[in-house]
């Protein structure tokens, strides 16, 4: 099994890069674990309280469960990946059965913050896009796909996204084996990653 970690700031294009990598691989040879699925359960909080959570701080993530699930996949076991709702800011009652595959891709803003998780990755990739580009993409995406309005996105950006990016996300670029510049679509980098995967399989 080849386990690839793909980190990078919000809006850097991690999900897009993952889709570009996997769309040429047979579906039964790859599975994806998204860090967003592993936001801690907050059933004890009201909706109002959940809107105030700092979702860009490592303490918001259930790293123990990601490590447990990744280890289980490595041991050939099927896992029940949680499903997260950006509308309710909580996990839903659903789960997605995720089968062990030859290639496992884990993507998320904070995945290189956990040493235990880092140690499970065979290849660590950091997707980079400039701050203004990420903000523009985030505004567009959160309004069209995540049910937010402009004030919500900009307030969250100023209060948590920007400082947390500087404190926790950008420094983890140093752990990367490969940095993909993604201000524009970077087909060369995607081809290189695909070649590495094919060689290792
Ligand atoms: N290289 C790129 N050029 C232009 N837009 C991009 C690029 N990569 C991603 N996007 C767009 O930016 C938005 C955020 O990308 P996404 O892959 O969801 O980022 P992340 O998973 O890092 O938050 C999406 O709407 C996506 O279509
Ligand atoms: N309820 C939530 C949970 C998380 N976020 C934001 O999602 C970002 C991470 O996802 P990406 O796909 O952009 O990597 C992160 O920056 C959180 O602020 C949210 O808005 N609401």
Does 16 contact ligand 1 (Cβ within 6 A)? Answer: yes
In tens, the pLDDT along 24-72 reads 888 899 999 999 999 999 999 999 999 999 999 999 999 999 999 999 9
Pocket residue to mutate for ligand 1, from 7, 12, 14, 16, most atoms within 8 A of Cβ: 16
The pLDDT value recorded for residue 200 is 79
Six token digits for residue 136: 């523009």
Average pLDDT over every residue of 166-178: 98
Atom of ligand 2 nearest to the CA of 86: 1
Ligand 2 pocket by C-beta < 6 Å: which residues? 10-11, 14, 36, 39, 55-56, 86, 89, 109, 161
Q: How many whole angstroms from its chain centre is CA 176? A: 15
Rg of the chain over Cα atoms, rounded to whole angstroms, equals: 16
Helix (H, G, I), strand (E, B) or coil at 94: strand
How many angstroms separate the CA atoms of 99 and 75, rounded? 11
Q: Kindly list the structural domains of the chain, giving each domain's residue range(s) and its CATH number in brackets, ordered by start.
A: 2-200 (3.40.50.300)
Phi/psi at 68 (nearest 5 deg)? -60, -45
Q: Whose CA is nearest to atom 21 of ligand 2?
A: 86
Ligand 1 close to Cβ of residue 15 (< 6 A): yes
The rounded distance, in Å, linking the Cα atoms of 184 and 129 is 8
65 burial type by CB count under 10 A (0-12 exposed, 13-18 middle, 19+ buried): middle
Ligand nearest to the Cα of 128, by number: 1
Question: Residue 201: its pLDDT value, please?
Answer: 78
Within the chain, how many helices (H) and strands (E) appear?
A: 8, 7
Tens-place pLDDT, residues 134-150: 999 999 999 999 999 99
Overall size of the chain counted in residues: 201
**Distance from CA of residue 87 to its chain's centroid?**
18
pTM of the model: 0.97
Contact predicate 19/135, CB 8 Å: no
Q: Is 8 helix (H, G, I), strand (E, B) or coil?
A: strand
- 3-state secondary structure at position 101: coil
């Amino acid at each position: 099994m080849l386990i690839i970690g793909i980190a990078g700031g919000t809006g850097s294009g991690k999900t897009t890069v993952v889709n570009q990598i996997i769309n040429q691989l047979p579906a039964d040879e790859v599975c994806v674990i998204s860090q967003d699925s592993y936001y801690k359960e907050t059933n004890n909080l009201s909706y109002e309280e959940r809107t105030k959570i700092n979702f860009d701080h490592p303490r918001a993530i259930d790293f123990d469960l990601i490590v447990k699930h990744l280890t289980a996949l490595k041991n050939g076991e099927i896992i029940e990946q949680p499903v997260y709702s950006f509308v309710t800011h909580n996990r839903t009652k659903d789960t997605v059965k995720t089968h062990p595959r030859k290639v496992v891709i884990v993507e998320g803003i904070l995945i290189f913050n956990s040493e235990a998780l880092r140690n499970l990755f065979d290849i660590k990739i950091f997707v980079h896009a400039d701050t203004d580009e990420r903000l523009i993409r985030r505004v567009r995406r959160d309004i069209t796909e995540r049910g937010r309005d402009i004030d919500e996105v900009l307030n969250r950006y100023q209060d948590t996204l920007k400082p947390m990016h500087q404190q926790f996300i950008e420094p983890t670029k140093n752990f990367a084996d490969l940095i993909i510049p993604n201000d524009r679509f970077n087909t060369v980098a995607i081809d290189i990653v695909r070649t590495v995967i094919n060689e290792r399989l």
